Amino acid sequence: MNSAYGRLPRKEDARLVRGLGTFTDDIALPGMLHGAILRSPLAHARICSLDTTAAEAHPRVRAVITGATLAERQLAWMPTLSRDVQAVLATDKVRFQGQEVAFVVAEDGYAARDALELIDVEYEPLPVVADATRALDPDAPVIRDDLAGQRDNHIFDWSAGDQAATDAVFAAADVIVSQDMLYPRSHPAPLETCGIVADLDPVSGKLTLWTTSQAPHAHRTMYALLAGLPEHKIRIISPDIGGGFGNKVPLYPGYLCAVVGSMLTGQPVKWVEDRSENLMSTAFARDYHMHGEIAATRDGRILGLRARVLADHGAFNGSAQPTKFPAGFFHIFTGSYDLQAACCEVTGVYTNKAPGGVAYSCSFRIAEGVYLVERMVDLLAAELGLDPAGLRMRNLIRPEQFPYTCPTGWEYDSGDYPRALQLALDMAGYDALRREQAEKRARGEHMGIGLSCFTEGVGAGPRKHMDILGLGMADGADLRVHPTGTAVLGISCQTQGQGHETTFAQLVAEELGLSPADVEVVHGDTDRTPFGLGTYGSRSTPVSGAAAVVAARKVRERARIVAAAMLEAAPEDLEWASGRWQVRGDPEQGRTIAEIAMAAHSGLDLPAGVDGHLDAGTVYNPPNLTYPYGAYICVVDLDPGTGEVTVRRFVAVDDCGVRINPMIVEGQVHGGLADGVGMALMQAITYDTQGNCLAGSFMDYLLPTSVECPSWELGETVTPCPHHPVGAKGVGESATVGSPPAVVNAVMDALRPFGVRHADMPLTPANVWSAMQGRPLRTDLAD
Amino acid sequence: MQITVTVNGTGYTRDVEPRLLLIHFLRDELRLTGSHWGCDTSNCGACVVWLDGTPVKSCTVLAAMADGRQVRTVEGLAAAGRLDPVQQGFAECHGLQCGFCTPGMMMTARWLLDHNPRPTAAEVREALSGQLCRCTGYENIVRSVLWAAALVRGDAPLDPPPKPEEAM
Amino acid sequence: MQVPAFVEYEKAASVEHALTLLARFGPESRVLAGGHSLIPMMKLRLAQPETLIDINGLTELSFIKVTGGELCIGALARHAELLADPAAGQHFAILHDAERVIADPIVRNWGTVGGSLCQADPSEDLSAAFAALKATMVIRYPDGTRTVPARDFHTGPYETVVAPGELLTEIRVPIRPGGGSAYQKVGRRVGDWPVGAAGAALWLAPGGPPVIEDAGIGLTAVGAAHFAAAEAEEFLRGAPATGESFAQAGQIAAEHCRPVPDQRGPADYKRHLARELTVRALRRALARAQRDA
């Protein structure tokens, strides 16, 4: 029988291409009111007075909520995902531009927006910490004076690896190359902004929330803890979500305000942020000031890596990663290379900027680590006069070394890195490109070729080591098989475009010999689905996918027992083949899942081990992360007269183990590659020294369009994951993680004749030209 | 003020404030929520609809400006329950992931194919350059439009995208 | 989403009617054409007019035609229409070059030439293009019509000579023989405002090795007075059309602009672009002038 895996058009498209999706702002409930947030124009200021009288008097305003209102309910502050606290509505001070100060509830959105202008706030400006590198200066203003005992802007120090061993390796090395580099503050900017419709039924006490949440169950538990509402009275529905990319993992003040608004008015309250709010106040990504050092022999054997990082966490530490890892999985920065030793130190600081840090498909800071190591390898190649592809090939972890434990403790599960790199080189025609480059340089034309070999670690994770707010990162799946043999799978992860309704149906269908059309996937509604930690960090396939497969196999085993009863054989005499349990040696004697399901519900005498159904569920606790990897090659053309860079080609070879639906995998890769072009060349959330956000709209936070993106050239290798039930690994973030260094390396390669060693992203025309003059721009902070 | 706007062939007369944006008129007044919005500065194109046969960013048009005019939205793409070739193309070629930018992309694609039945990939990219997608990296959107163009012309349907090269 | 503040609305049925409405509702009223400059400002509440006067019904201002030896563009011509107009492209390629890089195809469908010029953004591409072409603006007022050279049209950022109660109706560009023009823009991304841009128009003396009879150089986003590089033009008049002359002209143009550093780039880069793009625009203008000769 045909495998259910493979290219399959998506079930979700039927409604989406008709414009019949249900996104949060599409929801309209009877009597629904609309919320709007008044935000601080200043980055750091004391609130001297706050007068909402005029706003409350607006004829269409129903309520105005302030920090004082919330404080009465112990809701003015809420815990973050990093065990800090964040102001829901400011009470004493504002600590970043755009911070929430008041919440208006009105009959319609236009009135709510008008009423914001009727709120009078007097601020006393305070000195601003906008430069992370100055946040720990002795005279720096203390941002978090709300925290008892906080005397400075220091949040944490964290380290990994063996420093002594690394120091020894460096001491003995022929060559050490070091470089400062910034991974600029970025923002996922999903096309749909964050929002919520909060409906507290005053009679039943049930709180129903339709909201843009990548982790509805985790949100439910958080609301229960925060708002003191019994968790069984909370229902969260994530409807269709217009992109997540980590932006929709945290709880935001606007959500809580909407809940309180519904409590106060007794009516549903909708709050959907606008784009400037999204860019200025929701979870940003990256903002790592990194110092990298690489040690090698003169002939190109990489020995060790060191990294020191200053992490800008904004005004509240709201970054979302497993609690034991304040710098996420950054310490996988050892990358795809066989190193003797490595160590890193990360220091987190507060600044007067929006909170966040882990977002935008970083796989918990792996994006930052990959950028560091891939830039360092290219810098080493330049120093040694070696070709960057050859240097990489020489140092990649070899297939026979798997499972490979890197110097900072990660056990990479499987991989054949040289094969992937060779495929990429062949697809790109690397040697021909280098010849073309030489010919062009002789004529005064300039192009660059950049590589990135990356290893990801995704699918968090083993619950012993990985939890978010104490919730272990295991995910559930429950599978019901109806009497007529079609199935309903409930999963805890939450699609924002990844196609779960299709791929998870394929997973179950494959195990049970069904057609994917016969498997309905239910997700996003916490009343109808099992608990889990949601979709981010490329964890859906590794964790929820595994859970779905395990549940399906439990169903299949139950079916074996029933089939044995139906066939009057012993269960151990049955084999599973062609979608049936059949008698070994007598294949005519077989039953499909559909037949078995009906029988299970019938009056058939059921043996021990089976109730009157085939249903099964599980909670899957992954034994390890999965380690997808890739080899990327970017080709750019440079106009030295203007500094403009054009991405001519991008070759991407990815290995994510077994691919359930190759069409969907490719789509995930395509999307992430565009992120690389964007972050490398044009995207950054920049601030000025007064803490004004200079990228508060899409006029200045530039995202790549169809014109900047080339036609992506994809290749694949398949190295199954040894511990995943079907050998699959995650893939959603691979391209976002792996592509920026390929683009940056390509631009730096093009700039080599001009003596440019390094310039920080984004490599805008101005930055490229300035680098050519010997003065690359500082890209995190403007005057 | 009172306006009358014909949307997908049906006339709607409503009392609106002059400042009401066309995108809100469509979504909130008429409950045609297939068109979306995603920015404040006319950059993202999630709101693209047709106004008198021309794609416009409906977040930057007042409903009042559509008085007496014709609007076409994604809900008006399918005819008598049959999907437009553009819609078929997007579904066939995985031209959408989250689906949020998709209505706007399809409206522009439909207009492009009406005026240029044989676009090149570069022309498709240029036509869509005012609209953002965060999920697809644009590759499959372009393929979807080219697939639809081939279908309309009656050419042999384009194969699905070729399988990626396998390592030997 | 950001939404405008409360505003009143009137629909004009003719140019005369528009002028009457402008007079009635005074200086707090604003003309609404394509709205793609004004409505974004209103949404951010940077502009809060009391009354909008919708002139989209004034089809008499939607023309693009050649008449009396001039290319005449009605103020209500949409960017897309100008980009698609064969006569405009044939006589003044600079206009097509510029339109191709203004905003994006969808915005160009509805935004108008007149609207962009009246918005008077210091980075407006059409301001530089029409300055290079030494166009004339036609302004209607209740009792008549007046004309203003394009270079005198803008008086400062977001300020033009169009007084309250007046309406820009037309832009005219004289067609002269021996001409070629081009526009070069650098942006951070497609659709972005320019970091710097230059437009050049050359008219060559007939016969012999190419000598420049007249030159127009328009600059935008680099702080050039009146969107023009008058000193560079002066230098080119009568000069041979050579790389050397162009290099000199670019240098002079760069020296006479006052770029402001911002998110798009530092001042030295913008000044460099003023020079580099002027040279490139001149080269292309020459190639086209010679091709069409």
**Which residues make Cβ contacts (< 8 Å) with residue A64, sequence separation at least 6?**
A52, A55, A56, A102, A103, A104, A105, A115, A119
Examine the fold and report which residue of A257, A281, A305 is the final residue of a domain before the chain moves on.
Answer: A281
A682 in Cβ contact with C189 (< 8 Å):
yes
pLDDT at C207: 84
Share of chain A above pLDDT 70, in %: 100
CA distance B46 to chain A (A): 8
Digit-coded pLDDT (tens) for A18-74: 999 999 999 999 999 999 999 999 999 999 999 999 999 999 999 999 999 999 999
**Which residues make Cβ contacts (< 8 Å) with residue A600, sequence separation at least 6?**
A483, A558, A559, A562, A606, A610, A612, A613, A614
pLDDT at C220: 97
Tell whether B82 is within 8 A of chain A (Cβ): no
Tell whether B44 is within 8 A of chain A (Cβ): yes
Answer yes or no: do B67 and C11 touch at CB < 8 A.
yes
Angle between helices A734-751 and A765-772 (to 10 degrees): 40
From C5, C190, C264, residue closest to A766, measured CB to CB = C264
A374 in Cβ contact with A745 (< 8 Å):
yes
A639 and A579 fall within a common domain = no
A496 and A607 fall within a common domain = yes
A755 and A676 fall within a common domain = yes
From B40, B62, B64, residue closest to C44, measured CB to CB = B40
Cα dihedral A762, A193, A34, A240 in deg (nearest 10): 180
- The answer on pLDDT for A156 being more than 90 is yes
pLDDT at B156: 64
CA distance A361 to chain B (A): 12
- The answer on pLDDT for A258 being more than 50 is yes
Tell whether B132 is within 8 A of chain A (Cβ): yes
The domain ranges of chain B are 2-76, 85-158
Higher pLDDT, B157 or A655: A655
Q: How far apart are CA A576 and CA A591, in angstroms?
A: 10
Sorting pLDDT into bands at 50, 70 and 90, what band is B157? low
A453 and A591 fall within a common domain = no
DSSP A594-606: HHHHHHHHTT--P
A777 and A637 fall within a common domain = yes
In a domain, A133, yes or no: no
Q: What is the DSSP letter of A554?
A: H
**A positions 597-656 inside 8 Å of C (CB):** 641-644
Answer yes or no: do A113 and C3 touch at CB < 8 A.
yes
- The answer on pLDDT for A610 being more than 90 is no
Q: What is the CATH number of the domain that holds A670?
A: 3.30.365.10
**Which residues make Cβ contacts (< 8 Å) with residue A185, sequence separation at least 6?**
A284, A285, A286, A287, A312, A353, A684, A685, A686, A687, A780
A607 and A501 fall within a common domain = yes
How many domains does the structure of chain A reveal?
3
Digit-coded pLDDT (tens) for A87-121: 999 999 999 999 999 999 999 999 999 999 999 99
- A347: phi > 0 → left, psi -120 to 50 → alpha, else beta; which? beta
Mean pLDDT for the stretch of residues A367-395: 98
Q: Is A95 helix (H, G, I), strand (E, B) or coil?
A: coil
- In what side-by-side order are the strands of the sheet with A100-106? A61-66, A100-106, A33-39, A269-272, A195-200, A207-211, A234-237
- The answer on pLDDT for A178 being more than 90 is yes
Answer yes or no: do A766 and C192 touch at CB < 8 A.
no
Disruptive mutation site among A34, A280, A642, A693 for chain C (greatest number of C CBs within 10 Å): A642
| Burial zone of B14 (CB within 10 Å; 0-12 exposed, 13-18 middle, 19+ buried) | middle
Examine the fold and report which residue of A585, A620, A655 is the final residue of a domain before the chain moves on.
Answer: A620
Q: Where are the alpha helices (DSSP H) in A270-356?
A: 275-281
As a 3-state breakdown, chain C gives helix, strand, coil percent values, each rounded to 5, of 40, 30, 30
A254 and A296 fall within a common domain = no
pLDDT at A770: 98
B97-101, C101-105, C175-179: which range is least confident on average? C175-179
**The model scores a pTM over 0.95:** yes
**B positions 53-72 inside 8 Å of A (CB):** none
pLDDT at B163: 39
In a domain, A721, yes or no: yes
Cα dihedral A746, A747, A751, A757 in deg (nearest 10): -90
CA distance A239 to chain B (A): 11
Tell whether B108 is within 8 A of chain A (Cβ): no
Share of chain B above pLDDT 90, in %: 89
Residues of A within 8 A of C188 (CB-CB) are 682, 702, 764-766
ipTM beyond cut 0.90: yes
A702 and A574 fall within a common domain = no
From B37, B61, B108, residue closest to C1, measured CB to CB = B37
Digit-coded pLDDT (tens) for A729-747: 999 999 999 999 999 999 9
Q: Please, what is the average pLDDT of chain B?
A: 93
pLDDT at B160: 56
State CA A68 to chain mean position distance.
34
HSE-CB for A293 with a 13 A CA cutoff: 20
A306 and A440 fall within a common domain = yes
In a domain, A548, yes or no: yes
Disruptive mutation site among C1, C36, C121, C184 for chain A (greatest number of A CBs within 10 Å): C1
In a domain, A695, yes or no: yes
pLDDT at A360: 94
Disruptive mutation site among B43, B54, B57 for chain C (greatest number of C CBs within 10 Å): B57
Answer yes or no: do C195 and A700 touch at CB < 8 A.
no
Sorting pLDDT into bands at 50, 70 and 90, what band is C108? very high
- The answer on pLDDT for A328 being more than 90 is yes
Q: Is A348 helix (H, G, I), strand (E, B) or coil?
A: strand
pLDDT at C293: 78
The chain B residues in contact with chain C (CB within 8 A) are 1, 17-19, 21, 23-24, 37, 39-43, 45, 48, 51, 54-57, 59-62, 64-65, 67, 108, 126-127, 129-131
Fold of the B2-76 domain: Ubiquitin-like (UB roll) (3.10.20)
From C7, C44, C110, residue closest to B56, measured CB to CB = C110
Please report, for residues A192, A516, B104, the alpha-carbon distance to residue B100 in angstroms, rounded to integers and kept in the order given.
7, 25, 9
Mean pLDDT for the stretch of residues B109-121: 97
Please report, for residues A553, B37, B48, B50, the alpha-carbon distance to residue B114 in angstroms, rounded to integers and kept in the order given.
51, 25, 16, 13
Beta carbon pairs, A and B, within 8 Å: 206
**Which residues make Cβ contacts (< 8 Å) with residue A99, sequence separation at least 6?**
A39, A40, A87, A90, A281, A315, A354
Mean pLDDT for the stretch of residues A275-291: 97
Answer yes or no: do B40 and C54 touch at CB < 8 A.
no
- The answer on pLDDT for B136 being more than 50 is yes
A376 and A453 fall within a common domain = yes
Q: What is the residue range of A567's domain? A: 475-620
Please report, for residues A135, A312, A352, the alpha-carbon distance to residue A132 in angstroms, rounded to integers and kept in the order given.
5, 6, 9
pLDDT at B158: 61
Residues of A within 8 A of C266 (CB-CB) are 766, 770, 777
Answer yes or no: do A714 and B137 touch at CB < 8 A.
no
Sorting pLDDT into bands at 50, 70 and 90, what band is B152? confident
A704 and A749 fall within a common domain = yes
Q: How far apart are the first and last CA of chain B?
A: 69
Tell whether C9 is within 8 A of chain B (Cβ): yes
Q: How far apart are CA A132 and CA A66, in angstroms?
A: 30
- The answer on pLDDT for A451 being more than 80 is yes
Instruction: Say which CATH class B85-158 falls into.
Output: mainly alpha
Mean pLDDT for the stretch of residues B22-40: 98
Tell whether C100 is within 8 A of chain B (Cβ): no
Closest CA to A114 of A42, A64, A40: A64
Q: How far apart are CA A1 and CA A215, in angstroms?
A: 36
pLDDT at B145: 98
A196-205, A483-492, C47-56, C203-212: which range is least confident on average? C203-212
Q: How many other CB atoms sit within 10 Å of the CB of residue A754?
A: 15
Mean pLDDT for the stretch of residues A190-217: 97
Q: Please, what is the average pLDDT of chain A?
A: 97
- The answer on pLDDT for C55 being more than 70 is yes
The chain C residues in contact with chain A (CB within 8 A) are 1-3, 5-6, 45, 186, 188-193, 195, 261, 263-266, 268-269, 272-273, 276-277, 280
A606 and A692 fall within a common domain = no
